[in-house]
Amino acid sequence: MKCKLTIAYEGTAYEGWRSQRPERGVQHVIEQNWQKIFHADPQIISSSRTDSGVHALGLVAHAVLSNKNIPVQKIPAIMNAELPADIRIIAAKKVSDTFHARFDAVSKEYLYQVWNHPVMNPLLRLHAWHVPKKLDFDAMKSAAKLFEGTHDFRAFTAKRNGVLADTQRTLTRCEIKRIGPHLTFRIEGNGFLYKMCRAIVGSIIRVGSGAASEKEIYDAFTTENPQQSRMIAPAHGLVLWKVRY
């Protein structure tokens, strides 16, 4: 039977969901333990591929459980007893054979944390970007709104081998909240390009620091060579928060 898995992990020790060095990928660690426990070759298909150092609280994947005698709801307890402490199966449930964790997703929500204070909070050092310079919060909130809607986001991705195909995406949410020096970005959309969330956060921080203007962001959606002023925020501040179906 096919199972839908909700997975959380602290990404510091890993090179993303998948890695060219399999032992450094979260997927490989889960599949190794699945094979050991259920005595079957697994194929864990995820909703997303997070980058090296990025965390997840609500990544979704699907897998086939060949042993029908094992209740699906028992999978988290069975797997978590063997997985390292920085990877956890949060929930598991039976789904139809047609369910696909990636292709059936309608939106994904990411959370990014920034600590905006001259001195870094040591409790957040592995989960937030330290930006010591004073930031204009109102300017950042205004800049964030520019990203909502449907745009060509080719300016807000990093180059990979090959030619970018469809770079149009729709964001339904790009907002920032502030509690003292703690900034939280919430970005939700129907899909994301490589390092897109981090490029959006980096661009908004540039506006807040006075290094860029809202016009630069607006122009980046239409100009042919927009990447010269882009800044990609560090990976460790980013969390894949939720996938919706």
Q: What is the pLDDT of residue 190?
A: 96
- Residue 160: its pLDDT value, please? 62
Q: Could you tell me the residue ranges of all domains in the chain?
A: 2-95, 107-244
Class of domain 2-95: alpha beta
> Is the per-residue pLDDT at 162 higher than 60?
no
How does pLDDT run across 72-125, given as a tens digit for each residue?
A: 999 999 999 999 999 999 999 999 999 999 999 999 999 999 999 999 999 999
Is 107-244 in the same CATH topology as 2-95? yes
Give the catalytic positions in this structure.
Answer: 51
The verdict on domain 107-244 having CATH code 3.50.50.100 is no
Q: Decide: 109 and 173 in contact? Cβ < 8 Å.
A: yes
